[in-house]
Amino acid sequence: MEIVLAFIIGGLYAAGLYMLMRRSLVKLVIGLALLSQAANLLIFTLGRLIRGRPALIPSDMARLVEPFADPVPQALILTAIVIGFGVQAFAIILIKRAYQTVGTDDLDDMRSTDVMHGSSSAPPVNLPNDKWRSPVEATLRDEGA
Residues 69-128 that bind another protein (CB under 8 A): 69-72, 74-75, 77-79, 81-90, 92-97, 99-101, 103-108, 111-112, 122, 125-126, 128
Q: What's the min distance (Å) between Cβ of 140 and another protein?
A: 17
Nearer of residues 32 and 140 to another protein, judged by Cβ: 32
Instruction: Give min distance, CB of 144 to another protein, in A.
Output: 19
> 12: buried, middle or exposed (CB in 10 Å: 19+, 13-18, 0-12)?
buried
CB of 32 to another protein, least distance (A): 10
**Closest to 26 measured CA to CA, from 92, 86, 103:** 92
Angle at 79 between CA 32 and CA 7, to 5 degrees: 50
- Within 13 Å of residue 8, how many CA atoms lie on the same side as its CB? 14
> Taking CB under 8 A as the criterion, which residues in 19-58 touch another protein?
19-28, 30, 33-34, 37-38, 40-42, 44-46, 48-58
Taking the C-alpha atoms of residue 83 and residue 125, their distance in angstroms, rounded to an integer, is 33
* CB nearer another protein, residue 98 or residue 140: 98
CA dist list (Å): 103 to 86, 115, 142, 145: 25, 13, 19, 20
140 binds another protein (CB under 8 A): no
Count, residues near another protein per rule CB under 8 A: 98
Residues 32 and 87: beta-carbon distance below 8 Å:
yes
Please identify, using beta-carbon distances, which residue of 119 and 145 lies nearer to another protein: 119
